Structure 1
Amino acid sequence: MFIQFLKNYFFVDSNHTFGCDDKAFHQSALRILLALTVCIFAVSEVHSIFASKPLTFLGVNSFYLVLLIGLLFFSKKHTQITAVLFTATLITTSFLLLTLSDQLDAKKYALISLYSLPLVIRLLFSFKASLIAMVINLYPFYFMTTEYLNISNPDTTPSFYFQLLTFVTLNIGLPLAVSRIFHTLESNTIHMKELYKKLNDNYALHEEFFENTGSPTLFCDQHGKLLKTNQLARDLLATVEKNDFSDTKISDWLSPIENSSKLFWQSNVAECTLKANTGTHIEIRRATLTKHNHYVLHLQNTTQLHAIQQELENTQQTNSRLAHFDLLTLLPNHRNFCRQVNQLIDKPSKHLTGAMFIIRIRQFKLLNKQYGKDSANKIILNFSKALQKNVSDQAIIGRLRGVKFACFVPLNQTHLIQKNLSAFINSILPDQVKVDGRPLNMDYQVGISYYHTDGNTAETLLEHCEMALEYSSSTEHLSYYNHELENKLIKEHELGLKLSSAIKNKEIKMWLQPQVNQNGHICSFEALARWKIDGKYVPPMTFIKIAEKQGLLSLLAVNLVRELVETLTEWHKEHIHTPIAFNLAGQELMNDSFFALLMTLVADKPWLSKMLELEITETSYVMTNPLIHKRLRSLSQYGFSIAIDDFGTGQASLGQLVDIPANILKIDRRFISPLPNDQRHVDIVKSTIQLAESLNMKVIAEGIETKEQATLLIALGCHTLQGYYFGKPSPMSDWTARNHEKAKELRMVY
């Protein structure tokens, strides 16, 4: 206990790994020096009493002893003042002994005290103060060498060199050596602080990764003791009665089904049930075994899948079902579906007509990524149940693969009309399905073909449905097969091959269309992609749609962005500060590589965010995706201007205008072309401009072809105008030729 007290008293704040401040160190050093000095004077006091020293010596010694004890007492609250008083006492006493005492030993003690003064000051104050003390000590050194030593006398030469050695060692050598040690320790401390900060940052990052793995995850030792759990795991395992995971083991929460070993969590895969609810089945997958014999385990709730498997195992036709039915939905698979349809239409007594259609859940990839595999399976299962409930018993339903379902429905004369058949199909498709009690809006693509008219076998009808499915869109999600469709698909396939080559060879070029302000000056451009093949230009909507289907849209966007950045870099050097808007279909931002490219470009060229505007096409269905919103917010934080293109014609809503960090609103040309004669369109444009102003957004009107339209839009408060009236799109080379001559003009256009 006493030793711990001495440690805490003399080694102030010694338990801190980093961050021991100078005050604590100086206080610790001061206490040690004072304590040692007190001990010396206490010993001297005792010795004086027993040696019958003069009362004067005893009184002076007692005075210094009391003074030093007082300084030691006040060293905690008044460290700096105490250090100054201690130093002053040391200096004063040493100089008095040096100048007034006649005893040579006293002068030596005083001299040693003065020579030790730089070291004491370095411990209590700073290096500069120590240097000052070294310089001051030249006087006592000179005093002693001139008054008591005669260099010309050989007998005094050893004393002189001893004096010199003592002066250099105590006054210069030790303080400088200690200062060097302090400097090294301070540098190491700073370096260790930096390493400690990086370690903390990495730990926080790993903590975030662990918490957001997207699946319930546990971290345990080789004995199964839980060291860490993320929120998904806590939600999966916790019960009302027990939700404290500290000092528990995996075996406290889960029971193995087949693995009888007590160390079931060490297996690569283990099937378990919750102890609190044996009806809940959990699959454990061991991700990795670390060097420290710790395990990272991923959990998956397989209750629903287990129930399906159990149901199949309890039937006498398990093998047949596995071969002919979909395991998740229990619907006929592709082969069985075709067999059942062919059997129906081949019956001699059946003189029927019917419709075959393929249903594809459009946004399933996004749902799978957003909600996870388990919820995605629930979506498929609940959709299949709703579809079976809505159709008649005469209909045949099957699951082809993935998110495609096929349905063959016998038709009466009424539904041979496409309009009536479309209404019927829309009526049987559920608008919403529930996942974990939450309603989820559904979006579909449907390809349709007629029995007899478009084919006489299930296989042919399905093939034609697939062709029709390719031409469904977000606005027309029902598409019917026709004979011209095959030729169109063949041409589209050939065009797709040429497009792939054109994109890889960077044959798609950028054109610029000027955008002007209310005074008619060019204030920005919109970049438009143009592709010329066999002497003709392919419509942008055509080749962009093909690029999207072939998965080449991101590569095309990367090529065009790099081309734009090269031009903007040259313009930046030439002080041409005219932004260029680049149009994105939306899916490019779903691509991690393209998003990383934008972030890298703006990191390397901070000015680029002011020169490259990003237009998001509002008709793109990905506008509603939360990941798009998140990435747009990141780009906005980096300074990019975000524009919503074709506003009013697609997916945007007032709520999304708030969610998406857009600061520019582009009014589509279909609202501009009827101006100024159509009062209804005037009111729509006016309300749109007012909406944008309320959201602090800039408005751009496109498709302006007459002066009357331009004058009206300026009067309504439109900030920026674009259209053939001001200038048609032209190749970028027109603006960069002759050392960017045309771009430098930026002349008025009307």
Structure 2
Amino acid sequence: MTLTRSDPSTGILDRYGCLELVTKLASGAMESRQPLAALWIDLDRFRQINESFGHLGGDSVILQIVDRLKERLCGRAELARMGGDEFVCLAPRVDRRHAEYLARELLETIESPLQVGEIQLHPSASVGVALLDADEDPLAFLERSDQAMIAAKRQGGNRFVFSGDEPVPGRLGIMLAREELDIENKLHTALETGGLRLFYQPILGLDGRIEAVEALMRCHVDGEQIPPIKFIPVAEKTGLIIRLGEWSLLQGARYARQLQGQGFSTKVAINVSRAQLLAPKFSQALHGAMLCADVDPDLIELELTESLFMDVSDSVQRNLREARECGVGLAIDDFGTGYSCLANLKDIPATKLKLDRAFVKVLPEDRRALAVVKAMTQLGRELGMTVVAEGVENQGQHDVLAEAGVDAMQGYHHARPMDEDALQGWLQNKK
């Protein structure tokens, strides 16, 4: 075959020549119903070679390996350089079994020692193997071999991986990416069409009084409920978390005012993300929500993970300080599993400490966990914070936590999250 588009330094096909050839070979393979294999080769640790010996040394390694591969292939397959230290081997009439033999041959050929100056190197490679599917686009076929190579590299290199056998990046990775795009689209739809709602879970003091209710976001689009464990990570990744957070602030503040008008002066605790606290206009959004709702600041509480209180960012610290100065309460959520430093805890402007459910779920059997709960409870109370235990699901946990000295509890044992109407009925029955 005449090489019309070749790599000048190696004499084999270049990237564009490879794309032309794979189109021709794929067409022929489909017409004759013969298999076609693509093996994407990437040399391991090649950057270290360039850094150690310079580009001339790197080029010397490339040329030696190309000469070896051409000799080993001996016309059985076409070799192309895709750029840098990456190559593609296109092998017509090669099925899975023979593609595995070929991949092993290539790895053995590459790993033979070679000389660069006075140093003997022991190279290796990562190889991704794809077999052409019926009616598959040739470029998608090549891309699958590339993704399989990446999987081989992630597993440590010096190996081959077949497309479809890789743990995530191949088709599953594409499916996950599409799922995220679908969720992102549904979040936009929910924001525009009223598909977001807040449910509220009460936090009860030991005497049964309502200490607060935590606002928990729910998302419904076209009859489908998207769980928070799915839409929150997508919202954080795409930046939509700021819009969701501002919506939650406004709705939570309005509901706090509604409850106050009905005779329930109940705090509403609203979760706030790091992205919101990094935004320069967070304080404006918070003040705007309270002004629109005409609600007293002491009826609003912001729940933040403990790492946020340790964030050294000027924006985060300023927003926390301004929120506290305007009368809004601050709660450290999921305390005990993050990054809090006890030396800094005394300077945190928080009003509430919420013990993570990881300590609660093993009670009352785990006495060591109980000792930790007692210590954290004592610490919080000494610092003037209300101490809340999260995830309380049975009477045994309730009793041991009450004995440990917590001020309030939250969990299914006391009440599940409820919509506004259900909560108001629940509050009426508590009177």
Fold shared per TM-score above 0.5: yes
2:100 paired residue number: none
Summarize the alignment of residues 554-703 of structure 1 with structure 2, pairs less than 5 Å apart.
Answer: 554-602=242-290, 608-618=296-306, 623-703=311-391
2:44 paired residue number: 354
Partner Cα distance (2:334, 2:346) in 1 = 17
SS of the residue aligned with 2:202? strand
1:727 has 2:415 as partner = yes
Shift of 1:392: 6.5
Report if aligned partners of 1:517, 1:523 keep a CA contact under 8 Å in 2. yes
The one-letter amino acid paired with 1:661 is P
Summarize the alignment of residues 90-169 of structure 1 with structure 2, pairs less than 5 Å apart.
Answer: none
The one-letter amino acid paired with 1:506 is G
Partner Cα distance (2:170, 2:274) in 1 = 31
2:427 paired residue number: 743
User: 1:337-389 CA distances to partner (integer Å, 9 max, x unpaired)?
Assistant: x99xx9xxxxxxx9875389xxxxxxxxxxxxxxxxxxxxxxxxxxxxxxx99
2:10 paired residue number: none
Structure 1 residues 457, 653: closer, same or farther in 2, change over 3 A? same
User: 1:530-575 CA distances to partner (integer Å, 9 max, x unpaired)?
Assistant: 1134544322121111112222111112222222222222222222
Report if aligned partners of 1:629, 1:660 keep a CA contact under 8 Å in 2. no
Partner Cα distance (1:562, 1:708) in 2 = 37
Partner Cα distance (1:644, 1:668) in 2 = 10
User: 1:53-106 CA distances to partner (integer Å, 9 max, x unpaired)?
Assistant: xxxxxxxxxxxxxxxxxxxxxxxxxxxxxxxxxxxxxxxxxxxxxxxxxxxxxx
Report if aligned partners of 2:41, 2:127 keep a CA contact under 8 Å in 1. no
Q: Greater CA radius of gyration, 1 or 2?
A: 1
Partner Cα distance (2:149, 2:297) in 1 = 48
Summarize the alignment of residues 531-546 of structure 1 with structure 2, pairs less than 5 Å apart.
Answer: 531-533=219-221, 535-546=223-234
Shift of 1:610: 1.2
1:713 has 2:393 as partner = no
The one-letter amino acid paired with 1:746 is K
The one-letter amino acid paired with 2:430 is L
The one-letter amino acid paired with 2:280 is D
Partner Cα distance (1:682, 1:505) in 2 = 46
Structure 1 residues 408, 560: closer, same or farther in 2, change over 3 A? farther
SS of the residue aligned with 2:127? coil
The one-letter amino acid paired with 2:216 is L
Partner Cα distance (1:560, 1:485) in 2 = 31
SS of the residue aligned with 1:592? coil
Report if aligned partners of 2:195, 2:221 keep a CA contact under 8 Å in 1. no
Partner Cα distance (2:53, 2:415) in 1 = 61
Unaligned 5+ segments in structure 1 are: 1-337, 343-349, 357-387, 398-406, 417-449, 469-478
Shift of 1:646: 1.1
Structure 1 residues 683, 453: closer, same or farther in 2, change over 3 A? farther
The one-letter amino acid paired with 1:682 is L
The one-letter amino acid paired with 2:44 is G
1:453 has 2:137 as partner = no
Q: Which structure is higher in helix share?
A: 1
Shift of 1:583: 0.9
User: 1:190-234 CA distances to partner (integer Å, 9 max, x unpaired)?
Assistant: xxxxxxxxxxxxxxxxxxxxxxxxxxxxxxxxxxxxxxxxxxxxx
Structure 1 residues 354, 634: closer, same or farther in 2, change over 3 A? same
Q: In the comparison of the two structures, how many residue pairs are matched?
A: 307
Partner Cα distance (1:612, 1:463) in 2 = 52
2:52 paired residue number: 393
Partner Cα distance (1:534, 1:631) in 2 = 36
Bigger drift between 656-665 and 573-582 goes to: 656-665
Partner Cα distance (1:391, 1:616) in 2 = 47
Partner Cα distance (1:620, 1:481) in 2 = 32
Partner Cα distance (1:530, 1:463) in 2 = 40
Summarize the alignment of residues 179-198 of structure 1 with structure 2, pairs less than 5 Å apart.
Answer: none
Partner Cα distance (1:642, 1:684) in 2 = 23
Shift of 1:595: 2.5
The one-letter amino acid paired with 2:260 is H
1:484 has 2:172 as partner = yes
Shift of 1:498: 1.3
Calculate the TM-score normalised by the size of structure 1. Answer: 0.37
1:264 paired residue number: none
The one-letter amino acid paired with 1:591 is A
Report if aligned partners of 1:516, 1:524 keep a CA contact under 8 Å in 2. yes
SS of the residue aligned with 1:393? helix
Structure 1 residues 540, 351: closer, same or farther in 2, change over 3 A? closer
Partner Cα distance (1:605, 1:616) in 2 = 22
SS of the residue aligned with 2:199? strand
SS of the residue aligned with 2:44? strand
The one-letter amino acid paired with 1:672 is V
The one-letter amino acid paired with 1:625 is S
The two structures, once aligned, show a CA RMSD in angstroms of 4.0
Partner Cα distance (2:214, 2:233) in 1 = 20
Structure 1 residues 552, 621: closer, same or farther in 2, change over 3 A? farther
SS of the residue aligned with 1:577? coil
Summarize the alignment of residues 31-50 of structure 1 with structure 2, pairs less than 5 Å apart.
Answer: none
Unaligned 5+ segments in structure 2 are: 1-13, 19-39, 59-83, 87-103, 108-124, 131-141, 155-166
Partner Cα distance (1:395, 1:653) in 2 = 46
Structure 1 residues 452, 525: closer, same or farther in 2, change over 3 A? same
Structure 1 residues 555, 451: closer, same or farther in 2, change over 3 A? same
Partner Cα distance (2:381, 2:195) in 1 = 40
Report if aligned partners of 2:362, 2:369 keep a CA contact under 8 Å in 1. yes
Partner Cα distance (1:452, 1:601) in 2 = 56
User: 1:466-518 CA distances to partner (integer Å, 9 max, x unpaired)?
Assistant: xx9xxxxxxxxxx9735411111111111211111112223110001111101
Shift of 1:520: 2.4
Partner Cα distance (2:127, 2:226) in 1 = 37
Partner Cα distance (2:338, 2:303) in 1 = 14
The one-letter amino acid paired with 1:743 is L
Report if aligned partners of 1:581, 1:613 keep a CA contact under 8 Å in 2. yes
2:194 paired residue number: 506
Summarize the alignment of residues 411-560 of structure 1 with structure 2, pairs less than 5 Å apart.
Answer: 451-453=126-128, 460=146, 481-533=169-221, 535-560=223-248
Structure 1 residues 535, 604: closer, same or farther in 2, change over 3 A? closer
User: 1:168-192 CA distances to partner (integer Å, 9 max, x unpaired)?
Assistant: xxxxxxxxxxxxxxxxxxxxxxxxx
